[in-house]
Amino acid sequence: MFGLEGKVAFVTGCGSQSAGWGNGKAIAVLFARRGAAVYGVDVNREAAEETRRIVEGEGGTFVVGVGDVTDRAAVDALVADCVARLGRVDILVNNVGHSLPGDPATMTEEAWDSQIDVNLKSAFLCCKAVLPRMEAQGKGVIVSIASTAAIRYTGKPQAGYAAAKAGLVQFSRVVAIDYARRGVRLNCVLPGLMDTPLVEKIAQDFASRETGMDRDAFYRRRHGQVPMGRMGEAWDVANAALFLASDESKYITGTEILVDGGLCAAARG
């Protein structure tokens, strides 16, 4: 089950900012383990190369693409390179994302624009590049990594991030209906509180400020917010993405999978 043999997966944000497993890195490695040839994109070459070394060390196929997926010319070139080297694009994973704090009164216009570009425009550009190819093939799958911030207040002001991720969810729903009869499925994964290298960096930064809370206290608070009593990990996100990318989900489109340990259900009461 959940095999991806013979498929080519185009995964954005395939590297981790530091040691450990981020969502994109775990997705790329898991897809390769399930038989996909992976074209991994990251703006940081060394991060992508680290993922490539893991995949190739396990006998898988991985091609590195370096570029900014908020830039149309870069995206078009990356997709063309993927097709030239691997033959096609069967699966697109829109994984690039980043959160900046602030409400409309406190955010700069530049911060707002960057949140829309990284979290939403990147997915639009990647879809724009791959959808005609998938339609010509008569089959394709797009999985976008959104966030529970798309559907609930997370307890902190992040208006740009929440708006962009909500836009990504609705974008995926609408395009899923448009392409339902063309053989292309689109779905989203909505992670909640996850334990990733980025969160570790936030914890270290948080502890370095005058907050009265050290790194361990920061982690205890995050674990305690989740009904299951712990944060999730990148592999939880990767497994959900694998299901949506596989033929086992062939009758699923235009929807979302929550990967949040019950966080949203608890908020709804």
Q: Which residues belong to the active site?
A: 161
Q: Which two tokens mark 98?
A: 């980043």
- Which amino acid makes up residue 57? G
- Would you say 93 and 11 are in contact if contact means Cβ atoms under 8 Å apart? yes
Number of alpha helices (DSSP H) and beta strands (DSSP E) in the chain: 10, 9
What three-state secondary structure class fits 187?
Answer: strand
Main-chain dihedrals φ then ψ at residue 266, nearest 5 degrees: -65, -40
> Distance between CA atoms of 207 and 218, rounded to whole angstroms?
8
CB count in 10 Å sphere of residue 177: 11
* Angle of helix 122-137 versus helix 72-86 axis, rounded to 10: 40
> Distance between CA atoms of 265 and 6, rounded to whole angstroms?
37
Surface-to-core class of residue 208, CB atoms within 10 Å of its CB (0-12 exposed, 13-18 middle, 19+ buried):
exposed
